[in-house]
Chain A
Amino acid sequence: MKGEILFRNVRLVDGRGDFGQADVLIGEGRILSLAGGEAPKVVEAKGLVLSPGFCDPHAHLREPGQEVKEDLESGLTAAARGGYTDVVSMPNTQPVVDTPEAVRALWEKARQIGQARLHPAAALTQGQEGQWLSEARLLQEAGAVMLTDDGRTNEEAGVLALGLRYAASWGLVVAVHAEDAGLRRGGVMHEGEVSFRLGLPGNPAYAESARVARDLELLRYALEYAPSVPRLLHIQHLSTRRGLELVRQAKREGLPVTAEVTPHHLTLTDAALASFDPVYKVAPPLRPRADLEALLEGLLEGSIDCIGTDHAPHTPDEKALDLLRAPFGIPNLEVAWPLLYTELVEKQGFPLATLVERFTDGPRRVLGLAPIHLEEGAEASLVLWNPAEARPVDPQAFASKARYSPWAGWRLQGWPGLTLVAGRVVFSASHPELLY
């Protein structure tokens, strides 16, 4: 058999498991064979791992309007470097992405950039103002895969209930930033011992759990109109033990709810704020260790479906303001995989295939995209990564415009070296010859 690229002796790990070594032949944008073949480009990949390309259901790419923080090119390049082949962009841009034209424009532009593929999310309500529903059907036709008012919170229960009911009729998922604005108030970090000690306004865990509980009730209500949807409500960046318990219970009942967790909520705690460094300022806030441990358990058992980065870039100058004024958000597309591979798999024995599942099948399931598994005929959107390569995080080398990181200097393993999108090499640090 003839193909374009042959990976020899590469270890295959996808969301289903670890399949050991194989010779993978790529051609025509697909996996042609797992039993070798001929190709003009041959990669000796012993010691490297091939996995399906990662999918991020939650990234802020800031275009249009805030290109000073990030744009499609820098954001999608960062994603490709992080091993992502598919990224969902949040619609809280300037202007808000709430029209089919805006969705189409983003999609077109991303296609020309040719890095990771873009799947735009569109606003649930016009202008994300929480009053009038946006044109879900037309947005979907234009390429939107998700509706969300993320960046804001859905304060009006009545509007969200209608939005869920309407989205259900088109099979679209509605993602919610589940934090109660009234409870969150001006909180800039988790409310608890650390915030009391540091004298910083706190945002209590109850702001999240109260909102998750409400949104699950709204989901039950919407299901009276659309009883058989496979998925409908997606809880973004779950950060508390209590929020997780609510999701777990709802899933047991069979409710069509999914949830994501961010790399930062799995690796950092509110103790980090003692440095008063706004690099740790994020919403929802970093929580105490007990929450982090509960989230890990939720990720392991599947109550949490996937990793969502909530990649939220800002300019370094904005992050050099004080903690009250600096904006919320952590950029992390480029470190998500090595970070969690190192901290969870290497250090804590988290099962590798499960983590891969949460980066690949999990998010695609949330979005209604087909899974990618390493088998003949599968789409060749893949990442080749090196479990042994360890190097420190260097924000200055980021493709993202947000060249700072709470993990700066952390020594991580598992860095992606090569990313293929439908058979095309979009990033190749480990095998630069493949780019030509």
Chain B
Amino acid sequence: MSASATPTFPPHLLDFQDWSRPQIESLLETARMMQEVLARPVKKVPALTGFTVATVFFEPSTRTRISFELAARRMSADVVSFSGAMSSTTKGETYRDTLRTLEQLGIDAYIIRADAAGVCHQAYRWLGKPVLNAGDGWRAHPTQALLDAFTLLQSLGSLEGRKIAIVGDILHSRVARSNAELLPLLGAAVVACGPATLLPASLPGARLTTDLREALEDADAVMVLRLQKERMDKGLLPSLPEYIAAYQVTQARLGWAKPQAPLLHPGPMNRDVELEGILAEAPQSLVERQVANGQAVRMAVLYHLLVGRKRSEG
């Protein structure tokens, strides 16, 4: 058959540390092709026939898991799923035991979500098989950032020189961290904004500010993060009304950004907390498109992670 090529991608998607701009662009290009597949009457291609993919969710997330599983199935991979909490004692089954058990079943790739940063790195070290990070603690959520970038590219054309504002709990956000790694690779300038207690002192790839107006002013796009209400219990926020008063992205405040600046949210959304409710359905809101794009991006990632690699013997 025609044109062969050797895989030139890292054998995992843990974060973007090992990824270059051409690799990212090529992956997003594949995602564009996958989008066309999703528009077909038969939304399924045989590319990953014979591969088995495991979704291993130590932290529950139905939406992300469905997106990954559907992406894998649309590529004709077999999918098994495991979900369960991570044990905190050696008496229970540790997550290493869980992964070792799955290993015996002949899994070709692991899609892992966990509440602790680094679990996917550890899993890759133990398993030596493609590992796809579906969110690890505060560390990274690379497919979310890829679908954000993909969605932004659809609406802005190019990210070169664009100002992207990310608003919310930056300190505890894997979405913010992954976007701060990825978007600058594509030429964008990221400004991350939130209350002082929810900002790190520094974040590679992003300029930090506590001033919402400064963050939104002339922004080409605005990404609003979900506010985890348990931050209040830890004493990091005085109150919800205080947060809303200072940092809720409202229609009026969105006026500081460029006209029609697209609005993104990784979901699930706390309406009228981080975002004024009516904005979710505003024409510039790309929230639904993000979900649809998530599948195409995840299909592309699976393609690059699995095709051309040795199948597991089980």
A348 sits at the interface (CB 8 A): no
A276 to B88, CA, bound (A): 17
**Shortest Cβ distance from residue A199 to the other chain B in the assembled complex, whole angstroms:** 3
Q: Write the A136-166 contact mask toward B (1 if CB under 8 angstroms, else 0).
A: 0000000000000000000000000000000
Given contacts A276-B122, A322-B122, contact A200 B117 (CB under 8 A): yes
Assembly CA distance A192 to B138 (angstroms): 15
- Is B90 within 8 A of A199, CB to CB? no
User: What is the number of contacts between chain A and chain B, taking CB atoms within 8 Å?
Assistant: 67
Q: Which of A192, A320, A325 contacts B116 (CB 8 A)?
A: A325
Q: B117–A323 contact, CB under 8 A? A: yes
Within the assembled complex, what's the spacing in Å between the Cα atoms of A196 and B204?
8
Q: Which of B123-161 contact A (CB under 8 A)?
A: 125, 136-140
Q: What residues of A have a CB within 8 angstroms of the CB of B204 in the complex?
A: 193, 196-197
Q: Are A199 and B121 in contact (CB under 8 A)?
A: no
CB-contact partner of A276 in B90, B95, B117, B174, under 8 A: B117
Q: What residues on B are CB-neighbors of A321 within 8 Å? A: 86, 88, 90, 94-95
Considering the chains assembled together, what is the distance between the CA atoms of A196 and B170 in angstroms? 10
In which size bucket is the chain B interface? 20 to 34
- Whether B118 and A323, one on each chain, are in contact in the complex, defined by CB atoms closer than 8 angstroms, is yes
Tell me whether A320 and B94 are in contact in the complex, defined as CB-CB below 8 angstroms, given that A193-B202, A325-B86 are known contacts: yes
Chain B residues near A323 (CB-CB < 8 A):
116-118
Contact A322 B118 (CB under 8 A): yes
Closest to A276 in B: B118
| Interchain nearest-CB distance for A317 vs B (Å) | 5
Question: In the complex, which residues of chain A have a beta carbon less than 8 angstroms from the beta carbon of B121?
Answer: 275-276
Indicate if the CB atoms of A199 and B202 lie closer than 8 Å: no
- Bound form: Cα–Cα A315–B122 in Å: 17
* B96: interface (CB < 8 Å): yes
Which residue, A201, A318, A320, A321, has most C-beta atoms of chain B within 10 A? Answer: A321
**A277, CB-defined interface residue at 8 Å:** yes
Q: Known: A199-B139, A325-B116. Contact between A277 and B203, CB under 8 A?
A: no
Residues of A within 8 A of B139 (CB): 198-200
Chain B residues proximal to chain A, CB less than 8 Å: 86, 88, 90, 94-96, 114-119, 121-122, 125, 136-140, 174, 177, 200-204
The 4 closest A-B pairs by CB, nearest first: A276-B118, A199-B138, A322-B116, A199-B139
27 contacts between A and B (CB under 8 A): A191-B201, A193-B204, A196-B200, A196-B201, A196-B204, A197-B204, A199-B138, A199-B174, A199-B177, A200-B117, A200-B118, A200-B138, A201-B138, A275-B121, A276-B117, A276-B118, A276-B122, A277-B122, A317-B94, A318-B90, A321-B86, A321-B95, A322-B86, A322-B114, A322-B122, A324-B117, A325-B86
